[in-house]
Amino acid sequence: MTVLRYGEIDKQRFARLLSRYQLVVIESKKDQDIPGSFWGDEEAGLIDNRLYCRDDTPLHSALHEACHYICMDQTRRKGLHTNAGGDYAEENGVCYLQILLAEYLPEMGLSRMFSDMDEWGYSFRLGSAKRWYDEDAEDARDWLLSYQLITPAGQPSWQNRL
């Protein structure tokens, strides 16, 4: 199975979703390097409030980088260029939030996000993204709640970390 790619989704819906976080999606041409990509190749990139994608960018990568922007504090966000940084707790919060945001993209949804994360090699103690989310992600949820990035009901709050 191949992972869902940016070129396979409704790009306007994706841009509207991320605009709620003051993120701007910029599309790179297929023969160009992706600006701000930490991993290179087809992985999404971040510079300031701009998320760079190509049609071959895995959607999970684009959401992951977007969630780094959402989850980092204002100081890091102001100087953001390529390396989102963050600690272990923030990385878990990023993974949890990208799963929540997948529900707002009809082409993705939870099941596809879980399988794409597993396919790409995200590693979780319990062996799969779904098991981590269902059984072992309470700390990630609590972290997101502590910064008011999700509501007590577990929905996105549509605000960036202060």
Residue 104 is predicted with a pLDDT of 98
User: CA 40 to CA 65: how far, in whole Å?
Assistant: 13
With both helix axes pointing from N to C terminus, report the angle between 138-146 and 88-102 in degrees, rounded to the nearest 10: 90
User: CA 119 to CA 116: how far, in whole Å?
Assistant: 5
- 52: phi then psi, degrees, rounded to nearest 5: -100, 135
pLDDT in tens, the chain (162 residues): 699 999 999 999 999 999 999 999 999 998 899 999 988 889 999 999 999 999 999 999 999 999 999 999 999 999 999 999 999 999 999 999 999 999 999 999 999 999 999 999 887 878 899 999 999 999 999 999 999 999 999 999 999 999
